[in-house]
Amino acid sequence: MHTIIAFILKIVGLAIDLFQQLFARRVGWITIDRKSGKITREQQPLLKKLKLLVLFNPITEWVDRTHLLRLWTHERSLRAGAVETRPESHEEIKSFIKFYNINMAHFHPSDPEAYSTFGDFFIRKHAPGARPIYKKDDPSMATIVSDSRVVVYPTVEATRKLWIKGDKFTIANLIQDPFRAKSWVDGAVASFRLSPQDYHRYHSPVEGTVRWIKVIPGVYYQVDPVALQSSVNVLTENARCCLGIKSEEFGMVLFVAIGATDVGTVEIHDHVTAGYHIKKGEEVGLFQYGGSSIIVAFEKGHIQFDEDLERSSHQKIMVNVEVGQSMGRSMKSLE
């Protein structure tokens, strides 16, 4: 009898917890906040979560092979981006800030009324000093490229075993260049996922010289883990911008900014061109409205990721990180 009662109480407890999560709209993925160490669940609209489960399941993935879904998501992304640049979209800003509990003191301007459209708000800038760069003058330390959730992998092959399930995920497919991709054979990879509430500008993880830039057109799938763990080749199908950065400490570093559903544009700033010497933590570009993703790859044996990032990633738990925090140290500096 005691066993039955204990089982019933456990079920009731789980039901209450689920109700509380739904009420608080915390139906996203479990993450660890790097600053506090607390485990939390992302706040995400329930309808968005249901949409992801509908879009990324075996039946829908089969339909997608007909390319009809791709055309729909591409058209929807462009349409959503256009809507968020209209003056009336300004009315969405305050409710968006409230829903996601965004601390506007971290941004400039901090007053929501200063943004003429939701699109302007979406690409808001950090306030000076809000995101200090870890050991800014030490080129042997790589830093986090965006406010996001990150997982790190010792090799590209490990990404497919732990997280990214699309059968075409290779560096060669990611940058559509088998010759250049040889630099990152068996190299380490960091994957950053940005949610709509995040700061959507991205920064260089290292100091170095931009050797090449490549813009690859594509579709705009979601980059939520539901999508990444489906058979759809999200990261090698989406529109993206790729940079090769030559670093004295880290060798050739690959930086790929990837668009997603509701992201109409992936931009690299005009002054960032081949031959440009970029500083660690310097802004590289931005995403327009929506969620998005960034892949950073290092040559084999060139980086030692921070231990806390490696531990959480091995447990398949994303870590909430901020621009400028430490990502890892060059192996060269450890010799």
State the Cα–Cα distance between residues 242 and 253, nearest whole angstrom.
Answer: 11
pLDDT tens-digit series, residues 132-146: 999 999 999 999 999
Write out the H or E segment, with its range, that includes residue 117. Answer: none
pLDDT tens-digit series, residues 274-317: 999 999 999 999 988 765 789 999 999 999 999 999 999 988 89
Which 8-state DSSP code applies to residue 171? Answer: H
Residue 36, token pair as written in the block: 């506090």
**What are the residue ranges spanned by the domains of the chain?**
87-122, 140-334
How confident is the model over 238-264, as a mean pLDDT? 85
Candidates 160, 176, 155, 161; CA nearest to 237 is 176
Question: Are the CB atoms for 158 and 273 separated by under 8 Å?
Answer: no
- For CA atoms 150, 326, 175, 333, the dihedral sign is negative
Mean pLDDT of the chain: 78
Instruction: Give 10's Cβ-side CA count (13 Å radius).
Output: 6
State the Cα–Cα distance between residues 71 and 93, nearest whole angstrom.
Answer: 29
pLDDT tier at 332 (50, 70, 90 boundaries)? Answer: confident
Say what the pTM is.
0.78
pLDDT at 161: 52
Instruction: Give 251's Cβ-side CA count (13 Å radius).
Output: 16
pLDDT at 87: 75
Question: Are the CB atoms for 146 and 192 separated by under 8 Å?
Answer: yes
Tell me which residues are annotated as active site. Answer: 147, 203, 292
Strand order in the sheet with 266-268: 201-203, 283-287, 266-268
User: Is the per-residue pLDDT at 321 higher than 50?
Assistant: yes
Write out the H or E segment, with its range, that includes residue 115. Answer: none
Distance from the Cα of residue 57 to its chain's centroid: 22
How confident is the model over 152-157, as a mean pLDDT? 84
Question: Are the CB atoms for 309 and 153 separated by under 8 Å?
Answer: no
CB burial of residue 128 (10 Å; 0-12, 13-18, 19+): exposed
pLDDT at 225: 39
Backbone phi, psi, residue 88, to 5°: -65, -15
Candidates 174, 198, 158; CA nearest to 295 is 174
Which 8-state DSSP code applies to residue 105? Answer: G
pLDDT tier at 181 (50, 70, 90 boundaries)? Answer: very high
pLDDT at 4: 63
